[in-house]
Amino acid sequence: MSLQEQAVELREQGQRKNAEVRALAEENQRNISRFRDSMSKATEAKHKRDALNAQVKDLLIKRRQLVEMSRELDAKLKAKEEEFAKMPEEGRYSAPQLRRMIKAMEWKLQTEALSPRYEKELSQEIAKLEKELAKVEKREPLLRELRELRRQRHDLSLEFRALDKTLEMSRTESDQLHQGVLKSYQQADEAKAKISEYLAMIGEKSKEADEVFDKLRDTREELDREEKQRVKEREQKRKRDESEKQMTLDERARKIYGEFKSGKKISLEDLQVLQASGIEI
């Protein structure tokens, strides 16, 4: 294979190596994009997870407060129930019922014409109901307190359930986000490993390309040296040819000049040879 052919082959080989390097660099740029995208997703998920964890922390503090409130409320409720248990048992009628019954009887006394005997019996019944009402009314404030405490306890239970549901949802979402963070970090690590792998491949291919172009440069330098040698040889040959031609011209000129001096006529061509040789007639 000639040096020229070798140079052409080396140039094509170097171009192929550079094309491979460019292809690897483009693919590695995609690896870098995947790495950045994975890190961005990990950071975003981490921020959301941390915000949820802070929310869970606040909810746990509130839950502890609700537990404390619940204990205080249960203690109050227990004390009131014990106090209520010590009171006389409720009669046949509630306080509102007794009040309605007394009001109806009093209205009857005031508006109807009754016999003295029935009026007396009715008055006695009213007095009896009023005594019963007085006993029942002693229970009323405590009953109201008990109802209010039980209502508060019920509302607190509803708040507990709502809070626990929110806690569960927040913890579940936080766990999911944490798994997303781990997955994104894993993907980032894989992309980072690919980046390192491709950088090594790019370095290797670049080195191979440099070696090819070094050989190409050496080959071109050798071609230049050969070309300079050929030019030099052609110049030397030209000079030799001119020297040989000049010697022949001188010999012819001397012969013609000798003939001219002997009195022989010379032709126009002979005259041109004399003029070319530089001999003056």
pLDDT at 123: 86
Q: Is residue 169 part of a domain?
A: yes
- The two tokens of residue 108 are 């009857």
In a domain, 16, yes or no: no
277 lies in a domain?
A: no
* 148 located within any domain: yes
Task: Classify residue 52: in a domain, yes or no.
Answer: yes
pTM for this prediction: 0.55
Backbone torsion region of residue 248, taken as left when φ is above 0, otherwise alpha when ψ lies between -120 and 50, otherwise beta? alpha
Residue 87 structural domain: 25-204
Place of tokens 């022949």: 248
Residue 222 forms part of a structural domain: no
Q: Is 157 inside a domain boundary?
A: yes
pLDDT, mean of each 10-residue run, the chain (281 residues): 79 88 93 94 94 93 92 91 73 76 87 84 86 76 86 92 93 94 95 94 91 87 87 83 64 74 77 70 60
CA distances from 258 to 112, 242, 263, 271 (A): 193, 24, 9, 13
What number of other Cβ atoms are within 10 A of residue 209's Cβ? Answer: 19
Query: Is 89 contained in some domain?
Result: yes
Closest CA to 80 of 151, 181, 2, 177: 151
Question: What CATH number does the domain containing 189 carry?
Answer: 1.10.287
| Per-residue model confidence (pLDDT) at position 253 | 72
DSSP result, 174-186: HHHHHHHHHHHHH
d(CA 3, CA 233): 19
- The pLDDT, as a whole number, for residue 90 is 59
- The count of structural domains within the chain is 1
Which residue type occupies 12?
Answer: E
